[in-house]
Chains A and B, each alone.
Chain A
Amino acid sequence: MTRIQGSKPPVKKCNAHRKGGENVSKPAWEFKIVRVALLMALVLVAASCGVGQQPSQGGGGGGPKKICMMPKLVGIPYFNASEKGAEEAAKELDVEFVYDGPTEAKAALQSQMIEQWIQQQCGAISVAANDPDALAPSMKKAGDAGIKTSAWDADVAKDARGVFVNQATFEAIGYELVDVMAEQTDGKGKFLVVTGSLTAPNQVAWLEAMRERMKEKYPEMSIASVEPGEEDLQLGIDVTKNYLRANPDTAGVFGITSVALPGAAEAVEQEGLEGEVAVTGLSTPNDMKPYLESGAVEKFVLWNPIDLGYLAVHAANAQLDGELPKSGTFEAGRLGKVKMVAEDEVLLGPPLVFTQENIDQYNF
């Protein structure tokens, strides 16, 4: 670094300077300008401190109530559906409503937005968390600032939010899946389950509920095998096809992720087994529409994201009014009485069963 000490290196300074003798003074000028610029910025900031008043926190000061709601990300059909329901509720309740989220499903972007919402004097903040722990610090901060906090769709760490608006319990989903399947197979038979991964906690819990339901209500039904589809459509198709070829006595297939179900349906269709092997599971209407039309799938199960958004706003509003009970039920507009399943958890209600008749009402 100091090999050519003494002699100045032949630097063409920033190539920003014209030739000539005044070149010598240029760098000094430049530094001074920058310094002046920074100083001015500082002065401006300092001056603004005098002008701006500290924001008074909380929305409860007689002004209109303000509810701020955040999905995992914006711009996908599922969360657009939730937004629709949320807007509807906000209009009914006549509250100021903000719905925004990051353009990528990242927790760090969410926590940044929550912090800005704290400044923005939201009365209540409700988030669908991309990571339960990463959002905890900012949600706690919101709580400390007097803001009512809640989570919907995907929970935040328990101690960092007031209430969780749960779309469906694992039990309700598992039971409904088995009931729908039992209708089609007369309550008996051996079944294949295609999952996303064998370790995903929600899927493990659904499976457990499914087994429980079979044992209690349909003793002639049993799960013969559980195969992971790794959230890969092609893999799901192959896994199902191979299994059905090897086990022709299979009565039906459950696909319990939004990728596994279309995969299973596609496989049954490709094997020409529509009507012989029943298929049901969890997925979204847009993914499943073709299979309902072809007849490969008769019914499938999910919750209603429109109602979920609607309920989340009602829950936040009840928090603001201090009317959210610790147990029992509370009134949530057109949804009627909604159950508190725990002192800090609201449940949307039974899952929604999609059929040929109702599927056109949903676009997500």
Chain B
Amino acid sequence: MSAATAVLRRFKFSREVVLLGVLIVLMVVMSLLSPLFLTVGNLLNTSRFFVEVGLMALGMTLIIITGGIDLSVGSNLALVSVAVGFSYAAGLPLPLAIVFGLVVGLAAGLFNGLFITLLDLHPLVVTLGTFALFQGLAYGLSEAEAVSDFPAWFAYFGQAYFLNVVPGQLFIFIVAVAVVWLILARTSFGRYVYAIGSNEEAARFSGVPVRKVKLVLYSGIGLLVGMAAVIYTSRVYTARGDSGLGLELDVISAVVLGGASIYGGSGTIGGTVLGVLIIATLRNGLTLAGVPSTWIVFVLGVLLLVAVFLNEFFRRREE
């Protein structure tokens, strides 16, 4: 078979290409709906809002590929936000408070991982529990108060612009995408992730250290949540217990939209990034076009259902 037909077939079957098509169509539609959409200022500014969800979606992609899920990321974000804000308010220097926050995020992820691997529990059940646990802890520790007397330099993580237009956190995201992509696509660890998702039993018998891999994945997403939380807290300049509430659904939506199978075994970083971009484009474009936010939520729901349908369609054709 010639290379040309192979390329053609890949084009036909690649989810990423379809997603890219969707993104391009959306961008065209949005720019027709609002002349303000396709401007440098707007596109770059939009990126300020998807970085947090995007960072968490990277970790979530790997977890979903293994057939797992983490429902606690939004609550964990709140916990880290409170940890940073309130340890700072209690007198810890801010750089240390940030490090402390990252450690809290990592520890929370590790806690999930230990529960899941040591007791062999389903991640859905465990993280449903920690979803409430972290949220309660965040509310309890903060006593529903907010901290917002941060020094000016703290704004750097979430509000800084390079050359006046490029949001600083975009660079963090690009680096994170590159790192996670390399891990998933270019290392034996990445292979293990796919192997676990395809058939965990077979992977275990083939010598894949299943528990270790999962432990690393859940801790890893904890760290990504920690980074997202610092950016989030800096962006709104306030640490409070309800930060990140409900973000877990945005994160999972982006990953599923990006073509990862909730049954495990498939998914790519490229797809997830496109999923994040599509949701951000839709939200931003529709808001600019003056669509009320209640209907934007509706449109997002429709989009997700269509994506799930398409994914299933692709999967069957591939089999």
Q: Which residues of A contact B (CB under 8 A)?
A: 1-5, 8-18, 22, 25, 27, 29-31, 33-34, 37-38, 40-41, 44-45, 48-49, 51-55, 74-75, 98, 100-104, 106-108, 111-113, 115-116, 119-121, 131, 133-134, 136-137
Contacts and interface: CB of A to CB of B under 8 A. Distances in A.
Given A53-B39, A55-B41, A4 B288 contact: no
A289 B189 CA distance: 65
B270 A38 contact: yes
A133 B237 contact: yes
B318 A137 contact: no
Contacts of B6: 22, 25, 29
B238 A107 contact: yes
A113 B271 CA distance: 27
Nearest to A73: B293
A54 B40 contact: yes
A44 B24 contact: yes
Contacts, number: 179
A1 B192 contact: yes
A362 B235 CA distance: 39
Interface in B127-153: 146, 148
Contacts of A34: 16, 268-271
A75 B293 CA distance: 10
B228 to A, nearest CB: 12
Contact of B236 (A4, A11, A137): A137
24 contacts: A1-B188, A5-B188, A11-B195, A12-B199, A13-B194, A14-B194, A18-B318, A27-B185, A33-B16, A34-B270, A37-B20, A41-B277, A49-B40, A52-B42, A55-B39, A55-B42, A103-B293, A104-B245, A108-B235, A119-B36, A120-B34, A133-B238, A134-B146, A134-B238
Given A106-B242, A133-B237, A30 B268 contact: yes
B310 to A, nearest CB: 14
A33 B10 contact: yes
Given A41-B23, A108-B232, A101 B293 contact: yes
Nearest to B150: A133
A1 B212 contact: yes
Contact of A115 (B48, B269, B319): B48
A44 B190 CA distance: 30
A1 B189 contact: yes
B209 A1 contact: yes
Nearest to B206: A10
A41 B280 CA distance: 14
B181 to A, nearest CB: 8
A12 B16 contact: no
A30 B189 contact: no
- B-side interface size class: 35 or more
Which residue among A8, A9, A44 has the maximum number of chain B CB atoms within 10 Å of its CB?
Answer: A9
B117 interface: no
Interface in B180-214: 185, 188-189, 191-192, 194-195, 198-199, 202-203, 206-209, 212-213
B17 interface: yes
Given A30-B14, A37-B16, A37-B17, A100 B292 contact: yes
Which residue among A100, A108, A134 has the maximum number of chain B CB atoms within 10 Å of its CB?
Answer: A108
Given A119-B42, A137-B155, A107 B194 contact: no
B31 to A, nearest CB: 8
Contacts of A119: 36, 39, 41-42, 45, 288
A33 B14 contact: yes
Interface in B270-306: 270-271, 273-274, 277, 284, 287-288, 290, 292-294, 297
Given A1-B189, A16-B318, A116 B287 contact: yes
Given A54-B41, A55-B36, A136 B237 contact: yes
B1 interface: yes
A74 B269 CA distance: 35
A134 B237 contact: yes
A22 B212 CA distance: 32
A110 to B, nearest CB: 9
Nearest to A14: B266
Instruction: For the complex of A and B, list the 9 residue pairs with the smallest distance between their C-beta atoms, beginning with the closest.
Output: A34-B270, A133-B148, A52-B39, A134-B238, A12-B198, A52-B38, A14-B266, A4-B207, A37-B20
